Amino acid sequence: MNDTPLIQDLVSAYREWHTAILVFGVVLCALLAGLIVRAVVERLARRVDEVRHVWAHGLLTSASAPAQSLVWIVGLASAVHVLLETREGAGDSVLAQVLGPARDVAIIGAVMWFLLRVAARVQDNMVARARHRGQELDPMATDAVGKLARASIVITAILMMMQTLGFSIAGLLAFGGVGGIAIGFAAQSLVANLLGGLTIFASRPFKVGEYIIIPGTDLMGGVEHIGWRATRLIGFDCKPFYVPNAMFNTQPVINHTRMTSRRIMEDIHIRYADIDAVPGIVADVRAMLGTHPGVKHDFFAFNFNSCGTFSLKLFLYAFTVDTDYNAYLNVQEDVLLKIAAIIRGHGAELTGPASTVDVPQWRAHAQDPDPSGPMGRLAPPPPLSA
């Protein structure tokens, strides 16, 4: 059997379709290589513990998809390059001129994607390792470091892409110095919010999970998230609201969570008739406060404060040991009940504001004209007739 004609046909077909065959082979190899690289990287990542090997686990788990994309980018660029080389005059075409910069930009984008994934994964791994060791990382500090790392990666990648595309970085920086003034005027609030966010991350007047109050406003709530532009708080009604970070540059902030104790401040009123019992009451209440387990003993005050319009006023000022709100209410209730018991033990009575009511006699007589009735006895007798 003579195979010469068949071989000649195959050779002629290859010469006619060799470009398509080469391009198809390159693309197929790139796709297969990408899948193999991803499978190998994911298999290695599963063998690395995220707690013991923070960086290795972060690198491997973040490299699977970007590595596959990088292989595909190089493979497709090689396929296009093979296609252009086999065609006469294609080297001067627009596609040939764009191929190199487009490939480089895509590679920089894949590397940026990989580094962003690494930054996020390493941050999560460090938090997980701290919890595994029974420690707790400051979420505000870790979030700030992660945001700064991601911002640096993105800015560097954008500058490299622009340089790859032929833009002058020095010219862009010079233009940015002039245009930054105009942009600053147009975006004053945005810049102020960004500076406010940097101030929060640097000085850390509060962090996520703490309860803050902004005096002079109705803004108070627990901190849920600190962003670059605004901070999200959750109020007592479980409704979230967003406070621009620029407000924290000019407004004072009360960090309610970092208080060392809660204050008890009350006015207690007793009758004027109990003036002789005041010294004993004050002495016994001070002794009770000095031994109460829920009250701080380094400073407290209980004194006869003033003579009110209708009662004698005793002033209580003390601080609780526990800052928990429920514990504070329980201590305050117990202290007030014990003070009331001491007042009763001295034969005195608690009192409050009193008022007098003026009932005109003519109205009382009109309501009860019977002279023998309770109101009639208060009213004057009717005038005698002439």
- Which pLDDT score, from 0 to 100, does residue 190 have? 72
CB atoms within 10 A of CB 219: 16
- Which pLDDT score, from 0 to 100, does residue 24 have? 77
- Which pLDDT score, from 0 to 100, does residue 133 have? 78
**Phi first, then psi: what are they for 158, rounded to 5°?**
-65, -45
Q: How far is CA 227 from CA 148, 207, 295, in A?
A: 12, 11, 39
- Which pLDDT score, from 0 to 100, does residue 169 have? 67
What sign has the CA pseudo-torsion 60, 64, 68, 69? Answer: negative
**Phi first, then psi: what are they for 247, rounded to 5°?**
-65, -30
SS3 per residue for 49-97: CCCCCHHHHHHHHHHHHHHHHHHHHHHHHHHHHHHHHCCCCHHHCHHHH
Eight-state DSSP code of residue 32: H
Fold type of domain 263-345: Alpha-Beta Plaits (3.30.70)
Give the residue ranges of the chain where pLDDT is below 50. Answer: 1, 362, 364, 374-379, 384-386
CATH of span 189-258? 2.30.30.60
- Which pLDDT score, from 0 to 100, does residue 79 have? 78
Domain boundaries defined on the chain: 13-167, 189-258, 263-345
- Which pLDDT score, from 0 to 100, does residue 384 have? 47
- Which pLDDT score, from 0 to 100, does residue 382 have? 52
- Which pLDDT score, from 0 to 100, does residue 1 have? 47
Q: What is the pLDDT of residues 135-174, one digit of tens each?
A: 766 666 677 777 778 888 888 888 888 888 877 766 666 6
Rounded to two decimals, the pTM is: 0.51
Where does 165-260 have alpha helices with state H? 169-186, 188-203, 247-250
- Which pLDDT score, from 0 to 100, does residue 263 have? 92
The answer to whether 235 and 241 are in contact (CB under 8 A) is yes
